[in-house]
Chains A and B, each alone.
Chain A
Amino acid sequence: MKAFSKLFQKIEQTTSTNAKVKALVEFFEEAPDPDKIWAIALFTHRRPKRTVSTTFLRLWAAELANIPDWLFENSYHIVGDLAETIALVLPVNKVSVDKPLAQWITEIAALKNEPEEVKKEYIIEAWNALDKNQRFLFNKLITGGFRVGISQRLITKALSKYLEVDDSKIAHRLMGDWSPFDISFQDLMVSEDFKDNISRPYPFYLAYSVEKELEDLHPVEEWSAEWKWDGIRGQFIYRENEVFIWSRGEELVTDRFPELHTIPNGLEYDFVIDGEILAFYEGQPMNFQHLQKRIGRKSVGKKLIKDVPVVFMVYDLIEYKGEDIRQLPLKERRSLLNQLVKESNSENLILSEQVEFTEWSELRALIEEARARKTEGFMLKNLHSPYRDGRKKGDWWKWKVDPFTIDAVMIYAQRGHGRRANLFTDFTFALWDGDRLVTFAKAYSGLTDVEFQELSRFVRKNTIERFGPVHSVKADLVFELAFEGIQESKRHKSGIALRFPRILRWRKDKKASEANTLADIKTLLD
């Protein structure tokens, strides 16, 4: 684990991409194969199943640190990360052992069915033999969530350098459902025939928000525009008569959408298509909130399928008749896709139409209809573009409609974490309902540091009551909030829930009485 810990620190101690890649390459050059594949798995958010509950970890850590449980919990709240809190409160280790990363993981996995005392003894012995940094990583092996400054792209780059293989090949190999418990580093990254895994998806091509004038995208004839549907981006795979559906979050969701299994509809060749899983009722897309009901469940009942049927709104074709066609220009991929959709003739496969336009001004007028059409705006794609992997600038752009906005009163504030513990960073907002204020959204971010400090001063001076870290505050300040969507919600007092609420600006020009009402925001529901 020392080598892995050193790698982790090197990565954390630099903001330079090159230095991170270099550190990874150096690690790959030295590490045994099992450690390599585990490092890759951890950095790409594939973690072993938890075998020790975090409740126990907290209790044991508090015990070993000789502090009361409540103090441990408070510290955890302030640090914001359990693995780190444990690593920090424990006394300095007196002995030290070094085992390979893969061995630690295997040992932790083997604890699964052991009684509590055995687990406890193992964990405490490990804590006592690891330094602060290694302890942190050891805890992460149990609790998961390696949020480190490494993107999929960075690890891909490092592997491509180390193995001297093109990065798009590496990116593809890293996709899908694999676990170091079942596959070796050689088989995953190096072996010639890796097609054995028929469920393996391709990396999604992701777009940035359009940042220039539309007119800079020229000539205009080379661009296509499609509505940006508000569902779940997905990849539909049909290989060897089997269907696999992946969400953009690289989660296999095949079983959640049984009605999509009929899409191949007799087609006799393998294909992979990219599109949007969309709740769709009687020829019309439904609001995203309906789809949410289906995302939450692993198995779906008949009633739910009847109430919230889904379709696959298809954007692109990336594998055709068993061949990877990502390098073909979009125009050609789309014409093959047209043909595929026709041949399948499945009612659950709908082609995302390309909007006809000859000048950008036409789209500017049309985007006004985006919300009425239950879309988020447009996707603009260059017709010559290949299907790239990851987020790349230039060929594809997303163009979202402006968010909804509303003026609301801040009435609760919560302290931040870490060194921001002296500042208030999380706020709850309310709207008027008669002469009452009803809370309807929580939001943070969107203010400058100076504004946060000013706001914190206000909270301190105008606190009415404290509930732990939460302060109720005199209803005085008005903020303009932005949000992407609104839906009815039984769980909230206000009866509504917002998508992605955030603070847009502090309306110092408005008094609390001038904030919007609950009735105002409800007019946005439809």
Chain B
Amino acid sequence: MAKLLEHNDKGIYCEVADVYIDPWKAVKKAFITHAHADHARPGSSEYVCVDASKNIIKHRLSTQNVSSIPFGETLSVNGVKFSFHPAGHIIGSAQIRVEYKGEVWVVSGDYKTEKDHLSGEFAPLKCNTFITECTFGLPVFNWRPQAEIFSDINEWWAKNYADKKISFVSAYSLGKAQRVISGLDASIGKIYCHAAVENINEIVRDSGFNIQKTFRLDPDVPRKELEGAMIVAPPGFMNSNFISKLKNVDLASASGWMNLRGARRRRSVDRGFVLSDHADWTGLLDTINATEAEKILVTHGYVNVFSKYLQEQGYDASILETEYEGDEVELESTADESV
């Protein structure tokens, strides 16, 4: 019997329903876990996602052919039951559960186990086969609680404010940026956002999420006004003329990769805040265990190492090859160069 979900040259495919999940090529019907560029690619005829993701996907893919359902609700396609469940990764990120004749598969998309205010609370789903990401699937990645990271960020900002310096945090524009903003203590100063970030902020606010007041970063803003302020912008903007011409700016990056000294140094930022939207080593292992899945397929990240470890732990684990090309930061680092 053919597998319920199969991987082919276009993506993860469900033959019975003729549906793809996060396809990397244009298809007829695409179910999307979340709006990041490595999961939501343009060109497909029809997109299905969770309500919270709808407007963002429309914006990012410049398409109107997006339908959505609420978290937890079931959509049947030719007898296959699809449902979306919070993945805790970014606003509107979902795991996709696929059930057919009693067999359950779950595609995790990207997920984070620690709860934040925006992304919905992740919970592992019982299934037969679990397709899991493993971006940070190495024992060197263990996150400190986000409250500690936010207090580091605010402490840093407050010190820069006192020194009349601008604080600059690079964060990819969808997800990380909103999460950073939600953790900022606005009593310290004004928060400016790069246009790419502010556009997303507006969409997200319109969809009913509460994101605190931010100001659109206008290239003509008097530099004096930026003193003591916070700028949140995508990584690519760090090398822009606008930033390199500023004298009194302290650069930081917020990402799980900042856990590694080498990554901090390569980015040549002053501060690296270890704030990730992905599960850490323990988060991945606990989740996999909680799904009680008989079969684990790993994708996105250190797939060789991670699957080998799972096999040693007694799981039936293997690699699901994708055309994955890097994490969100990498994908954005070449775009968004201007205000």
Seen from chain A, the residues whose Cβ lies within 8 Å of a Cβ on chain B are 12-16, 65, 67-68, 70-72, 74-75, 78-81, 84-85, 88-89, 92, 149, 417-423, 449-450, 453, 456-457, 460
Contact = CB atoms under 8 A, between A and B. Distances in A.
B312 A75 contact: no
Contact of B325 (A78, A79, A457): A457
Nearest to B142: A88
A89 B280 CA distance: 12
Nearest to B334: A450
Nearest to B333: A449
Contacts of B330: 419, 422, 453
B318 interface: no
20 contacts: A14-B250, A15-B251, A68-B309, A70-B308, A74-B138, A78-B302, A79-B262, A80-B262, A81-B261, A88-B140, A88-B141, A88-B259, A89-B140, A419-B257, A419-B327, A419-B329, A422-B301, A422-B324, A422-B326, A423-B326
Contacts of A70: 308
Contacts of B326: 422-423, 453
Nearest to B257: A419
B139 A65 contact: yes
Contacts of A15: 251, 268-270
Most chain B CB within a 10 A radius of its CB, from A15, A70, A81: A15
B266 interface: yes
Among A75, A78, A79, A418, max chain B CB count under 10 A is at A418
A471 to B, nearest CB: 12
Interface of B: 138-142, 250-251, 257, 259-266, 268-271, 301-302, 305, 308-309, 312, 323-327, 329-330, 333-334
Contacts of B333: 449
Q: Which 4 A-B pairs have the closest CB atoms?
A: A88-B140, A419-B257, A418-B262, A419-B263
Contacts of A67: 139, 309
Contacts of A79: 140, 260, 262
Contacts of A12: 261, 264
Nearest to B256: A419
A71 B325 contact: no
Nearest to B300: A422
Contacts of B262: 79-81, 417-419
Contact of A13 (B260, B270, B323, B324): B270
A418 B142 contact: no
Contacts of B259: 88
Given A79-B140, A418-B257, A71 B266 contact: no
Nearest to A420: B266
B308 to A, nearest CB: 8
A14 B139 CA distance: 27
A75 B139 contact: yes
A459 to B, nearest CB: 12
Contacts of B139: 65, 67, 71-72, 75, 88-89
A13 B159 CA distance: 13
Nearest to A85: B140
Contacts of B305: 71, 74-75
A421 B305 CA distance: 12
Given A88-B139, A449-B334, 14 more contacts: A12-B264, A71-B309, A75-B139, A75-B305, A79-B260, A81-B261, A85-B140, A89-B140, A418-B260, A418-B262, A422-B325, A422-B327, A453-B326, A460-B323
A472 to B, nearest CB: 16
A327 to B, nearest CB: 35
Nearest to B268: A15
Given A15-B270, A453-B325, A75 B261 contact: no
A23 to B, nearest CB: 13
Contacts of B257: 418-419
Nearest to A19: B270
A75 B140 contact: yes
A420 B330 CA distance: 9
Nearest to A88: B140
Nearest to B324: A422
A432 to B, nearest CB: 32
A78 B281 CA distance: 15
A419 B325 contact: no
Contacts of A420: 266
Nearest to A466: B304
B138 A78 contact: yes
A422 B135 CA distance: 10
- Residue among A14, A74, A460 with max Cβ neighbours from chain B (10 Å): A74
Contacts of B327: 419, 422
A87 to B, nearest CB: 9
Contact of B138 (A75, A80, A149, A460): A75
B158 to A, nearest CB: 15
Nearest to A461: B323
A452 B67 CA distance: 37
A13 B312 contact: no
Nearest to A70: B308
B148 to A, nearest CB: 12
B247 to A, nearest CB: 11
Contacts of B264: 12
A6 to B, nearest CB: 14
A84 B265 CA distance: 14
Nearest to A66: B139
Contacts of A460: 323
A418 B268 CA distance: 15
Nearest to A83: B261
Contacts of A456: 325
Given A71-B309, A453-B326, A456-B325, A418 B263 contact: yes
A84 B260 contact: yes
A144 B150 CA distance: 33
A60 to B, nearest CB: 15
A259 to B, nearest CB: 43
A80 B266 CA distance: 13
A453 B262 CA distance: 19
Nearest to B313: A68
Contacts of A16: 270
Contacts of A14: 250, 270
A197 to B, nearest CB: 35
Contacts of A72: 139
A417 B309 CA distance: 20
Nearest to A87: B140
B266 A418 contact: yes
Contacts of A449: 333-334
Contacts of B271: 13
A72 B309 CA distance: 11
A449 B330 CA distance: 10
B261 A84 contact: yes
